[in-house]
Structure 1
Amino acid sequence: MGQDEKKSLLANQDGGQDDVEISSGEGKKKSLRDYIPKLSKESITILIYVVLYITCGVINSVLLKQVMNTFSNYGFFLNQLTNFGYIPIFGVAVAYKMFFTNDIPKETRQFPLYKFLIMGALDAVTGYFVVIGGISTSGPLQQLLNQAIIPITMLVSFFILKERYSWIQLVGAVVIVGGVVTSLIPSLTGGGNSGNKPFWNFFYLISIIPYAFSNVYKDIGFKAVDDMDVWYLQYWDCVFQSIIGTILFPINAALPPPATIPFNSIGPSLKNGSLCLAGHNNILATDSTCGPLTTDPMPCDNCHNAWIIILVYMTINVIYNVFILLVIKYAGATVFSIANTLRLPLTNIVFSLKFIMGKQVVPFSGLSIAGLIIILGGLTTYRVGSTIKAKKAGATEQVRFIPGMGPAGVEGIVPIRKKFIEPKSQEHLRKQFFGKLGINIPEDRYNKAHINDA
């Protein structure tokens, strides 16, 4: 590290003595600079990454709900749009890497496609429940329900991966479940005016189940991969996610309004969704087909600037996932977990600000605040337990992460555990080389065993 990086952020560049002198009480004087923590260039960079990650995460969550509100009558179209929309983005990146760089070697391209298919299928089901259920689930409640991913993933990992957890982690998971239940009480009792509907809230919550299976499958299917290119992974995930998402349309025929789409109406619904994307309203109050006075209440179209909203959302979503990579790579899993914990209350605060959300503002209720506090307590407890467990296992394993764009902006961060391989010494490598040449060198039993194995 250079000398400049060791200087205080408020250091005088001209070497002057303009600092405020503060008496230490022992006859010595200290400058104000001595009381300010000295940050290295690397620390400042990490801090910037974390702040930008939290900021983009909050904006990403708010924009996702804005998109859902805009396409409230075209949930299936929105699901397909968010699936197919990323294919050209990742396709261009993969094509560039394959033709102009060596980032995607032959070994990566030979990776079994059926593993991407399984991952894409699980993400497609997750995205379907997220988008369809999220339309009638308020933004703050979405953020709280998303935290159920921790206890559900723990449960799936317990049975499939035989993963075992500390009692601190288990207490944290139970507290998180209690916070989720508390958050659902206003919706179940009909309180509040947030627009939450119990059926769709549980429909959204169900998305956590295939998402948890997707996380566990990534732990299994990609464990042997040392350096899977993220863009290549995302491209195939989006391709298969889009294909599987398309064949899910029969489910809409059995769903209640506003998601009901009979088989013979799939084509017109996709057409109207496209018109909405272009800014054209199809369902209007003047036609007496929407609004609170109709037999089956459904929202009227509000497609003004829809294409701008979806474009901004998808752009922010890509940037957001880039910062996920940067925070994990340079700050580590612990800092990433802390940033996620901080992001939760900040996102819910933004949803309650009228000057930002306008008519879509969702005021905090007492139970919503209680649910948020309980979940934050559970998240903190769980992550403290995870940190303690990781330190105890640090001598034998490390935690690697495979980032995933996931459906509808739901990022997939999956721990992949790989045992450390003790590096071989230069002496061992030299003896191994001579052994392969048939040159006998006196050596101890340990090194001889390694040469014979080679």
Structure 2
Amino acid sequence: MMKAKGNRVANQDLEESLLPSDPQGKQAPELKVNVAPAVVGETEREDGNEHSKSKQGGLVGAITRSCRGDNLLLALYTLGLLFTSVGNSVFFKKMTNAMPNYSFFLNQLTSTVYIPIFFSLIWYADFSGKLSEEEKKFPKSRFLALGALDALAGICMLFGGVHTAGTLQVVFQQLTIPVTLIASGLLLRAKYHLWQILGALVILGGVVVVQLPVILGWDSSGDAFAGNSTTFNIIFSLSAVPMALSSVFKEVAFRGVSLDVNLLQGWVAFWQVLIGFVLLPLNTLPFLEDQKLEWKDIPESLWGGCKCLFAGVNTYGEGGKACGGPDQHPCDACGAAWIPVVVYLAFNVGYNVFMLLVIKYGSATLSFLVATLRLPLSSFAFYAPFIMGDDAQEFQWTDLAGLAVLLIGLVLYR
């Protein structure tokens, strides 16, 4: 699951922040939060303001509510969400750097790990009487489309992430906002305020600014960073399309349905893994360059991913095949590849738990504030050698300028 990748539960925050109120008064799907008490607690999320109400709205109101004495836990949850969201972005990149030749393997792994987690929570909810008969009988096939969209988004992010700089990944993820605006406008006939439209356009402008070195040919190689590829930047950016469509589909398919969030996420994860195998032929597409696999090499690649992660054995590089040259695969760094993978999974699980807590006890506005603060913090982390090691990026003034434009766009949109 990614949200960097995405992010199972985190998409609920995206929907609340991006999808507008329906002018005809239709309600978005209500997702109940029934999670084991040790994780989140047992009370259902109320519609609107959860456990406290304030006359202050927007970002100021969100900050004020989180700082009150009776909301100290909410402040801690918010800090936890900010910390894990930054770690999620950083270790997604470190994971793909360590295992650059196993995008499909990583996509299946990071989806499969959520199946036992969410189905354990589903079992707990059922055992404790939290699931209604309506929820138990809800057609599971309706989750298939969400699983397919999430699988496609994950594939794009992992394929593209190998040759997309970390700072650019953070920027490109913001494309989900204007893409969701367009998708909900076309498919849901949603109406947006002028400020929201202006904010989305400014966000697009921020993406253009960070790509100026490539657009204007300031870098002779066509890349703004070593190991960065315009083709893979585009592939990574395309993940915004299925992510946006997933949000819009939830608005349509689950409208008026009270559904346990773990039931939703568990079945989406199940379908995502199955659809991931259906998407296996994408590995053979010619424009994937050094990520391309021949049909006959796919089983070997899956086995290579297992050896890399669990045994620390390189398929490409030291002790393996030639790598790193023209028309060759990038070199593996399997010796300690399990570390960034395990840390990424831990951050991703923590990110989803804290997202649930913030949405349940706070508001979508507060989670939007965290998503905004994540932009500069993640960018600075990618510049820091003590965090990224040899993969730390050199500072680009276009990054800083583009980041400033993005932040302005996010504020205007909100």
**TM-score range, shorter-chain basis?**
0.7 to 0.9
Once the 2 structures are TM-superposed, how far is the Cα of residue 78 of structure 1 from its aligned partner? Answer: 1.1
Q: Percent identity?
A: 39
| Structure 1 counterpart SS, 2:298 | helix
Number of the residue aligned with 2:327: 296
Any residues of structure 2 matched to 1:275-314 within 5 Å, and which? 275-278=307-310, 279-285=312-318, 289-291=322-324, 294-314=325-345
Kindly provide the amino acid, as one letter, of the partner of residue 207 in structure 2.
V
Judged with a 3 Å threshold, the aligned counterparts in structure 2 of structure 1 residues 219 and 276 are, in CA distance, closer, same or farther, namely: same
Distance 2:224 2:151 in 1: 32
- The answer to whether the 8 A contact 2:178-2:201 is kept is yes
- The answer to whether the 8 A contact 1:73-1:301 is kept is yes
Once the 2 structures are TM-superposed, how far is the Cα of residue 312 of structure 1 from its aligned partner? Answer: 2.2
Any residues of structure 2 matched to 1:351-362 within 5 Å, and which? 351-362=382-393
Distance 2:66 2:230 in 1: 51
Kindly provide the amino acid, as one letter, of the partner of residue 250 in structure 1.
P
Any residues of structure 2 matched to 1:200-239 within 5 Å, and which? 200-226=232-258, 228-239=259-270
Once the 2 structures are TM-superposed, how far is the Cα of residue 301 of structure 1 from its aligned partner? Answer: 0.9
Which structure's CA Rg is the greater one?
1
- The answer to whether the 8 A contact 2:199-2:410 is kept is yes
Once the 2 structures are TM-superposed, how far is the Cα of residue 191 of structure 1 from its aligned partner? Answer: 4.8
Once the 2 structures are TM-superposed, how far is the Cα of residue 149 of structure 1 from its aligned partner? Answer: 0.6
Judged with a 3 Å threshold, the aligned counterparts in structure 2 of structure 1 residues 353 and 229 are, in CA distance, closer, same or farther, namely: same
- The answer to whether the 8 A contact 2:381-2:387 is kept is yes
Once the 2 structures are TM-superposed, how far is the Cα of residue 39 of structure 1 from its aligned partner? Answer: 5.6
Once the 2 structures are TM-superposed, how far is the Cα of residue 352 of structure 1 from its aligned partner? Answer: 0.6
Number of the residue aligned with 2:306: 274
1:140 partnered with 2:167: yes
Structure 2: gaps spanning 5 or more residues = 1-64
Kindly provide the amino acid, as one letter, of the partner of residue 376 in structure 2.
P
- The answer to whether the 8 A contact 1:68-1:131 is kept is yes
Distance 1:39 1:286 in 2: 55
1:123 partnered with 2:150: yes
- Per the normalisation by structure 2, the TM-score is 0.79
- The answer to whether the 8 A contact 2:315-2:321 is kept is no
- Per the normalisation by structure 1, the TM-score is 0.72
| Equivalent residue for 2:125, pick from 88, 93, 97 | 97
- The answer to whether the 8 A contact 2:93-2:166 is kept is yes
The structure showing larger relative contact order (alpha-carbon pairs under 8 Å, at least 6 residues apart) is: 2
- The answer to whether the 8 A contact 1:187-1:196 is kept is no
Judged with a 3 Å threshold, the aligned counterparts in structure 2 of structure 1 residues 332 and 249 are, in CA distance, closer, same or farther, namely: same
Once the 2 structures are TM-superposed, how far is the Cα of residue 87 of structure 1 from its aligned partner? Answer: 1.4
Distance 2:66 2:371 in 1: 25
Number of the residue aligned with 2:48: none
Number of the residue aligned with 1:181: 208
Deviations 1:72-100, CA, capped at 9 Å, x for gaps: 011111111112222122222222332x3
Kindly provide the amino acid, as one letter, of the partner of residue 231 in structure 2.
F
Kindly provide the amino acid, as one letter, of the partner of residue 406 in structure 2.
I
Once the 2 structures are TM-superposed, how far is the Cα of residue 38 of structure 1 from its aligned partner? Answer: 12
Number of the residue aligned with 1:11: none
| Equivalent residue for 2:377, pick from 328, 340, 346 | 346
| Structure 2 counterpart SS, 1:148 | helix
1:44 partnered with 2:72: yes
Distance 1:310 1:337 in 2: 27
- The answer to whether the 8 A contact 2:97-2:162 is kept is yes
Judged with a 3 Å threshold, the aligned counterparts in structure 2 of structure 1 residues 267 and 158 are, in CA distance, closer, same or farther, namely: same
Distance 2:330 2:185 in 1: 42
Once the 2 structures are TM-superposed, how far is the Cα of residue 364 of structure 1 from its aligned partner? Answer: 2.4
Structure 1: gaps spanning 5 or more residues = 1-36, 384-454
Distance 1:343 1:126 in 2: 21
Deviations 1:204-252, CA, capped at 9 Å, x for gaps: 11111111111100111111112x2122111100110011111111121
